[in-house]
Every structure is written in structure tokens, then in C-alpha cells.
Amino acid sequence: MDKNHFDVIVLGGGPAGLTAGIYLGRSKAKTLILDTGMPGGQMVLTYEIANYPGVENISGYQLSSVMKKQAKNFGCVVKPNVKLASLHLEGPNKEVKLENGDTFTAHAMILATGGRPRMLNVPGENEFKGRGISYCATCDGDFFQDKEIVVVGGGNSALEEAVALTKYASKVTILHEFDHFQAFEHAVEEAKANKKIDYIMEAHITGFYGDESLRGIQYKNLKTGETHKKSIDGVFIFIGYEANTQALQNGPVKLNKWNEIITDENLQTNLEGVFAAGDCRAKRYRQITTAVSDGTIAALNALNFIQK
């Protein structure tokens, strides 16, 4: 039997892809999980997860490790850090080619490529990325011990990560474009109760400045139109996500206008035998629980498909 032929190939090893792997592997389907980064996905970027049922206050890294171990224990082959060369998704034989020449085929495919943090796209952002600008509190929070930082955004991630960052920073200023937050009430209350957190509301960052490292931001007050400068040691940006569907943007999988994958309620895409799960698909709520749910549904429907 061809060792590179699988029942199902899962693209992406975040919570959606790993859950799909757990269900597929446990059903004895020969499963390959390919990830262009490290399995765990955005969970690895999360300092503390307090809303995953059954585990209290686990770190994103720990939860990822357990999910990956479960998928491997059920027989999934997990390949991290792969570089995709091409995808062939039409017809009964799906194929993935890697840049190193490896080629894998399968009867069914689950796309679980997740999302990535959205950038502000203002001058200086690329220059100071990794030199004062970060998109991940877990990864970079401890570089800002006793420093002053700004958190950009007003959703759940921004407020929760701002609170997490007060463990390191001497002061955290949340800068948000509206006069109110979009986060859930409990996240807003927790941030407001934290004495280290301050606010700049109704403002936009217009640029970053510094030398070898970030030294400050320029921002515009959206009510008065005035521009200000603020010296700062670091900036964390949490303004939403974009789907990781670059590999699909020239078809044949149908995407919506935000480049998210369109599925039916069985999480099947417009192509037979190709399913999508998690943050890469068009849906309203993007959480670990919803990714895990998608992974389950996609795996069960993929199993049903290959059994036919």
C-alpha cells in the first residue's frame, strides 16, 4: 500500500484540525495532518484559556500539547512546518505537493487552516514588528517587564490580553477607535477593575517611530482630528483576524468576500469530499470550542463520505 496515500488529509493542526484528527484516528481512518507552522495554531498564542469546558485556567500551550498527543496516540501522522507547493482538490483523488517534493494523496480533505492576526497597516508597523510591536501576549509579554505598553483593540482578545499583560507591564493603555468596547461585559469589567489599565478612546494609530526598537506611537483623536505622539516601550495589536486561505484564493473552493471558506451545515465545501472546519470558514463565532465542534462535524462527515 502507498505510504503517502491517506483516507483523509487535514490541512492545519489548530484545535479544529487536531480534533478532526482525534475523531478520524479513533475511527481507524489513515489520517495525515499537515501544518505550515507549529500544531496548536492560535491556542499557542493564548496566555491563559479560561473558557474551555472541563479545564480551568490552562495555558494555550498546554491545551495544544494534549490535543496533539491525543491525535498522535490515535495514529495520526502529524507533520509540522511544511511548505505547500500545490493543492489539487477536485475529483476523487485529492493531492497535496510539498516544496521538498513529497506528494500525499487522500480520498477526502479537511481544510482547517485557521486565521492570523490582522495588521493595522500603518507606517512603521512592518519595521518595528518583533522590535516592540507584537500580536501575541503569550509569546512576548515577558519582554515588557515593568515597561509601559499600549494594547490596540476593543474586542474580547484585546481586553483579556491587556489584563494578562498587566502581570508584566507597569502600565497598559488600551487604545480603541470607538467610545465603547465590543467585548463581553465580564471582559470589560475585569479590565476596568484593573488599576494598571488606562484608556485612549476614539483614536487611531497613524504611525510608529523609533530607532533600533520602537520608541512611540502617533495617534489621531477621531473626535477632534488632533494628532498626538506618545512615548511607549511596546504595542500589542488585537484587532481581529483574517482567514488563512491564501492557498485557495485562485479557486476552486468557494470563498466569500472576506476570503473565508463557504460550507454547508455538514461543513462540506462546494467540492465533493472537501470539508472546512474552524476559523478559516465563514461563520460568526471564532473560539476554541467552536473550532473543536467544527473539527468533529467535518471528521464525521469525511468518514461518512469515504465509507460511501
Ligand X SMILES: Cc1cc2nc3c(=O)[nH]c(=O)nc-3n(C[C@H](O)[C@H](O)[C@H](O)COP(=O)(O)OP(=O)(O)OC[C@H]3O[C@@H](n4cnc5c(N)ncnc54)[C@H](O)[C@@H]3O)c2cc1C
Please report how close the Cβ of residue 304 comes to ligand X at its closest, in angstroms: 21
Q: Binding segment for ligand X among 40-48, 140-148, 216-224, 255-263 (CB under 6 A)?
A: 40-48
Is 140 near ligand X (CB under 6 A)? no
* Helix boundaries (H) for 202-287: none
Least Cα distance to 275 among 72, 16, 4 occurs for 16
- Kindly state the smallest distance separating residue 229's Cβ from ligand X, in Å: 27
Residue 301 binding ligand X, by CB under 6 A = no
Give the distance from CA 301 to its chain's centroid.
24
CB atoms within 10 A of CB 64: 26
Determine, following the binding rule CB under 6 A, whether residue 68 of this chain makes contact with ligand X: no
- Binding residue for ligand X, selected from 157, 173, 263, 268, defined by CB under 6 A: 157
Stretch that binds ligand X, among 22-30, 42-50, 175-183, 214-222 (CB under 6 A): 42-50
- Segment 274 to 293, residues that bind ligand X, using CB under 6 A: 278-279, 286-289, 291
For residue 112, state whether it binds ligand X (rule: CB under 6 A): yes
Q: Which of residues 69-108 bind ligand X (CB under 6 A)?
A: 84
Our CB check for ligand X shows the closer of 63 and 217 to be: 63
Report the distance separating Cα 238 and Cα 150, nearest Å: 11
What are the beta bridge partners of residue 207? 218
CB atoms within 10 A of CB 92: 8
Which of 166, 244, 268, 269: binder of ligand X (CB under 6 A)?
244
- Collapsing DSSP states into helix, strand and coil, what is residue 137? helix
Provide the β-strand partners of residue 151: 174, 236
Considering the rule CB under 6 A, would residue 141 count as an interface residue with ligand X?
no
Using the contact rule CB under 6 A, the part of the chain among 37-45, 118-126, 220-228, 263-271 near ligand X is 37-45
Phi, psi angle pair for 303, to nearest 5°: -60, -45
Rounded to the nearest 5 degrees, what angle is found at the Cα of 239, between the Cα atoms of 234 and 240?
Answer: 135
Instruction: Classify residue 271 as exposed, middle or buried by CB count within 10 Å of its CB (0-12, 13-18, 19+).
Output: middle
Is residue 115 at the binding interface for ligand X, with CB under 6 A as the rule? yes
What is the contact surface with ligand X in residues (CB under 6 A)?
11-17, 34-37, 39, 41-43, 45-46, 49, 51, 84, 112-115, 157, 161, 244, 247, 278-279, 286-289, 291
